[in-house]
Structure formats: structure tokens, C-alpha cells
Amino acid sequence: MRQTAQTPEREPFVAHWSAKPDTELEWHTISDSQNYRRQRSSLRSKALSFACFLSLALLAHRFWPYLTSAVFSADSRLSVDEDSMCPQVSAISPSNYASLIDSLDEEYGTKEFKLKAYESLGAAVRIPTVCYDDLGTPEEDPRWKIFYDFHSYIEKRFPKVHATLQRTEVATYALVYHWQGADASLKPLLLAAHIDVVPTNDATDDDWINPPFSGYYDGEWIWGRGSCDYKPGVIGSMTAIETLLERGFKPTRSIILAYGIDEERGGLTGAAAIGEYLVKTYGKDSISMIVDEGGGYSDMGGTIFAAPAVAEKGYLDVRMDVLTPGGHSSRPPKHTGIGILAGVVTELEANPHVPELARDRTYYQSLQCRAKYDAAFPPDMRKLVLESQSSDEKLRELAKRLDDFDPAYSASAGTTQAIDIIYGGVKVNALPEAVYAIANHRIADHSSVSELQDRFTNIVAPVAAKYNMSLDAFGKTVGLEVPTWGLVKLSDAFASALEPAPVTPTTGSGPYELLSGTVLSTLKTNLRTDNPPDDAVVTPGL
Ligand SMILES: *[C@@H]1O[C@H](CO)[C@@H](O)[C@H](O)[C@H]1NC(C)=O
């Protein structure tokens, strides 16, 4: 998850898939008796994250021929109208490799294996691969060197992986592995993760129950930076491949692993170089499916809602500079730069972004899943969601109700605006000549950087005119050309603008169905929890 100094919060990442499904695939059913048998002997393990399970399961359950049929009977309480809501696929398991899967599941279910896997992750956490915003190039900045320790560690921990897969160092410290498949005509699968973690604040050292780089396993959790975000992605995929190699497995489809080194500052060095390397090595549109960090899962009354992120909002920090003539404050103008900036901020907050509820977007689709499968969803809201599928009037009514119903509604279905930084004034008897504020935005999936800039400009322009100020909006002069009292300047504060990501298709999409089916079979049949869910649902996440 990317975090920035300005916005230290969780941000979803996207699982992208780029190719059409393989039509020849067949799918396999897991019978209820098998589920029961497997669940009975299971052990609890919160310690490895969902991402790890996903990687393990995905590799274990994928890229062999399948047999198909339905697994979970449709919920009988649902009316016909609900059938099209939140479509679910059948759980998937590779039937041609049933004995391999059984043998893997058996090993993954043992205490020895689990402790070894926790230690694989714990030891990875103990290597402080910290990413700083101001890291220089890999050649010049010694702070990168710690990544070498991580390389040596995984080499030792996963010897078969390193004896079999071809490893390439990209931008010195990022890693790309290639596992050659038997059928070179199939586009490879790419599993991505990142090795870097965010630093800790020294002032909070004493607040940690277990130290941030301890990798300590307390019987339930593994502690420390990267134990969740996102060393499980590295350790999970390595562990899965190591155990497959121990059984002599050879993939039909090639598999690529790509591990970034500065995702926490936007992947400037790692992801950028990996992207170039992949295009150079494999060509454009050459990957069947990319699975990366993003999304999560929650337990709603016994039903697990797994929500792989299929969309990601855009990003923009707008800096508002207000530049006015200086002078002594014994003879002040009616409004100082601070007063004018306050006027701008007040106007922005008086005009918040309005969320948009649209049927083809991820938020609405995830709402449909909750309405259909969350037993605690209020019946009147469920009815409204149902009716909103075909009635525009009901859709508008639903949007109004969501303001109160879902605290996350406006942040999920709209662009957010938060004025987070303000600076100005140097001395109490001197007029402030240069003051500024910065507004942080997460741009809705249906919007864009330029749409946000235009809206921002339209709100600020009348305020600037009112105070007799020129306006430079993102490099363009807007409004007053005549001599003015001063200048209001809008700009991208940290050159970090990001368009919303293209949304991964979830209906009629082979890759999404493959991921969903694998998630379902993993959640419903694994030996790795003693608390199996009553049911599991996959919902598109944002
Ligand atoms: C705007 O400011 C300029 C420069 O101080 C001044 O010449 C002009 O008269 C002002 N216009 C208005 C409408 O206040």
C-alpha cells in the first residue's frame, strides 16, 4: 500500500488482468464432504495474511486443466430479481492434480509447516528494508544496501526456487524471477509484491508492544513492519513454489515473480524499472494476468467477504499559494494574504465533492454483494438496492439514503478533498507576503486529474476576482489580466498526480473468475483455519 508523508493511510492496490480467458479450461468441484473433512482437521492461523493464502492457493490451484461444475447452491431465500446481483463463480480446484493438491494441503496443515512459514515471514520482517521518500539512485545511496541482505536471505530460505527459476536484478535491488512453463504459447502469469516497508517514527518506539522489526510470532500474530504490507506477497509466493518444486512440479504456463523495492514512495525506482524490463523482455500485452497487493476480507456474520481491489482511485495534492505585497501591519490592507487564503479554503469546503452512485462502478457492485449476502443488511435497504438496478428514481433515493447508511459512501463513490497543510506569516507586525495551503485529493474512479483541476479552478476563480487577485491555475492565467493586488497560484504540490487506475473487468472476465474461484476454494476447503466460515463471497473491492 502506498503511503506518503502527507497521507499515512491505507490505500488499495489493484489486481489487473490483461488477457482473455483461456476457453479450454475446465473446472473442478469440491464436494461438501471434502470440505467438511478438511475443515475438521484445520488449525487457526491469522499469522499469514490473506495475500499469502491467495498466493499459495493461486499457485497451487492454477494453470492446470480443470473440470467444472457448480459448488455452492444458490441461496434459496433470494428472489429471481436478485439472481443477476453479485454473480459468484464456483470454487475451483485443479482436478488433474488432485493428489498433488491433497499432498500440499496436508503439508500446509501441519504445525511444522506453519511454524516454518511464520518464521520465513518473521525473518523477512527482521531485515529492515525501509523505503525513504528521499532515497537517491541505487548506485549512490547506501541506504539501499540492506536489500542485499534480503536477497541473501531468500536465497538461503528457498534454495529450490533459486536453483530452478531464473533471477534478474533490476535497478540493482528489485527482483524478477522467471519460471519457464512447458507451453511457451501461453502468456505468463505475473505475481507481484514489494519488499520495502515504511519507516517507523522513533518517538513511537516505546508504544510498540513488540518492536517494529522483531518479526515476533506471539502464537497468533506476526509483529512488525512488512508482516502485512507486503512481505507475505514475497514469502507466500516463494513458499508455494518451493513446496511445488519439492514435489517435482513443472508448470504448463510460465510464471513471473516481480518484487518492487520502493512501492511505499510510488515505485519510482523499482516498479518503473520492472515495468520497462518486462516490456523489453516479454513485449507489450504479453502477460495473461497480474496479481498484486490490494483488497482484504471481512467476516460479516459468518460469511467471509473477500474483496480483491479491482479499482484504485486517482491522486492529486493541490498547492494554493497566495502572494501579496509586503508592508508594515500598522497600515494594513483590508485583507492580508492569510485572509484571502482563508477565503479560498472556506469556499472549497463550502463546495464539497458530491459522490456519484452509478450502476457500472465498483462501489455499487460491492453494495449489491452486501445487499445480497450480508444477513445483517436491513431489508428496506436491500429492497432499495434491488429496485435501483432498473429504476433511476430508486437509484437517486438510494444515493440519498447512503449518506447516513454508509459512513464510507462519499469517500468510496466520490472524490475526496482534505486541506491538510497551511503555512504563512513570519512576524506579528509584518504583512504575510507568501502564504500557502495544500489540499489532498483521492480522485473517484469515474473522474480524472484534469476534471478535478477544472473544478478547483472554477471554485477559486471568483474568490480571487473578489479580492482583486490574478489567478494562475496549473500554469494558465484565469480571469483578471489587469493590474491586480497580488497572485493566487494553483499547482500540483509534489508532482504526484495520478489518474484513477483502469478498472479490472469483473463480469465475463476469465481472470477475475479464476481469482474468485480460487479464493472461494481456498476459504472453503483449507486446512489452515480452525474457524471456517459458513459461507464465502467474492466482491469487487475499491
Ligand atoms: C486592484 O489592484 C491594483 C493594484 O494594487 C489596483 O491598481 C486596482 O485599482 C485594484 N482594482 C480594484 C478593483 O480594486
pLDDT band at 3 (very low <50, low <70, confident <90, very high): very low
Number of domains in the chain: 4
Residue 479: what pLDDT?
A: 79
Q: Which of 119-123, 478-482, 487-491 has the lowest mean pLDDT?
A: 478-482
Whether 459 is covered by a domain: the verdict is yes
pLDDT digits (tens, 9 = 90+) for 323-335: 999 989 999 999 9
pLDDT at 402 over 60: yes
What are φ and ψ of residue 480, in 5° steps?
-55, 125
Q: Name every protein residue with a CB atom under 6 angstroms from any ligand 1 atom.
A: 468, 483-485
Assess whether 252 and 365 both reside in one domain: no
Ligand 1 centroid to residue 246 C-alpha, Å:
80
Q: Which pairing describes strands 255-260 and 189-194: parallel, antiparallel, or unpaired?
A: parallel
Q: Which residue has a Cα nearest atom 8 of ligand 1?
A: 484
Residues 6+ apart with CB under 8 A from 32: none
Ligand 1 mean position, distance from CA 468 (Å): 6
Q: How far is CA 278 from CA 14, 168, 311, 448, in A?
A: 18, 11, 22, 27
Is 256 part of a structural domain of the chain? Answer: yes
Residues 32 and 117 in one domain: no
Residue 129 has pLDDT above 50, yes or no: yes
Total Cβ atoms within 10 A of residue 152: 10
Which grid cell is 292? 498484486
Task: For residues 243 and 140, give the distance between their C-alpha atoms in angstroms, rounded to a whole number.
Answer: 38
Q: What is the pLDDT of residue 111?
A: 92
CA dist., res. 269 & res. 480, Å (int): 42
Answer yes or no: are the C-beta atoms of 227 and 52 closer than 8 Å: no
Residue 21 has pLDDT above 80, yes or no: no
Shared domain for 393 and 471, answered yes or no, is no
List the 255-260 sheet strands across, edge first: 166-170, 174-179, 255-260, 189-194, 289-291
Please give the mean pLDDT across all residues of the chain.
85
Q: Report if residue 48 sits inside a domain.
A: no
Where does the pLDDT of residue 296 fall: very low under 50, low under 70, confident under 90, or very high at 90 and above? Answer: confident
Name which of 23-32, 54-63, 254-263, 313-322 the model is least confident about.
23-32
Residues 321 and 225 in one domain: no
Lowest-pLDDT range of 15-24, 178-187, 212-221, 230-239: 15-24
- The DSSP 8-state label assigned to residue 498 in this structure reads B
| Domain C-terminal end among 391, 411, 431 | 411
C-alpha cell at 114: 506453519
Q: Is the pLDDT confidence value at 79 over 50?
A: no
Q: Bigger pLDDT: 298 or 128?
A: 128
Distance separating alpha carbons of residues 251 and 291, to the nearest angstrom: 17
Domain shared by 423 and 376, yes or no: no
> Is residue 327 a part of any domain in this protein?
yes
Task: Tell whether 208 is covered by a domain.
Answer: yes
H or E element in which residue 163 lies? helix 159-164
232 and 125 in a single domain? The answer is yes
Q: List the residue whose alpha carbon is closest to atom 1 of ligand 1.
A: 484
Q: Is 317 annotated as a binding residue?
A: no
Q: CATH number of the domain that 287 lies in?
A: 3.40.630.10
Chain segment 416-473, per-residue pLDDT in tens: 999 999 999 999 999 999 999 999 999 999 899 999 999 999 999 999 999 999 999 9
Give mean pLDDT, residues 379-390: 96
Note the maximum CA span of the chain.
87
Q: Assess whether 349 and 449 both reside in one domain.
A: yes
Give the best-scoring range by mean pLDDT among 72-86, 264-278, 500-514, 526-540: 264-278
With respect to residue 53, please indicate whether it lies within any of the assigned structural domains.
no
Residues 228 and 181 in one domain: yes
| Angle CA 121–171–317, to nearest 5 | 85
- Domain membership of residue 442 as a residue range: 312-353+415-502
Q: Tell me: pLDDT of 361 over 70.
A: yes
Span 268-273, average pLDDT: 95
Range ranked top by mean pLDDT from 5-19, 87-101, 410-424: 410-424
Please tell me whether residues 512 and 379 are part of one structural domain: no
> Could you report how far apart the first and last alpha carbons of the chain are, in Å?
13
Question: What are the distances in angstroms from CA 62 to CA 24, 145, 251, 414?
Answer: 14, 36, 9, 36
How confident is the model at residue 270, as a pLDDT?
97
Whether residue 122 sits in one domain with residue 28: no
Grid cell at residue 25: 479450461
In this structure, the answer to whether residues 271 and 395 fall within a common structural domain is no
Residue 49: inside a domain, yes or no?
no
- Annotated catalytic residue within 82, 105, 262, 263: 263
Q: Which residue minimizes the CA distance to atom 3 of ligand 1?
A: 484
Cα separation of 507 and 377, whole Å?
24
Nearest to 242 by CA among 159, 152, 180, 167: 159
Looking at the structure, do residues 306 and 316 belong to the same domain, yes or no?
no
Given ligand 1 and candidates 324, 340, 466, 468, which is best to mutate, with the most ligand atoms within 8 Å of its CB?
468
Is 202 part of a structural domain of the chain? yes
Last residue of a domain, one of 411, 434, 456: 411
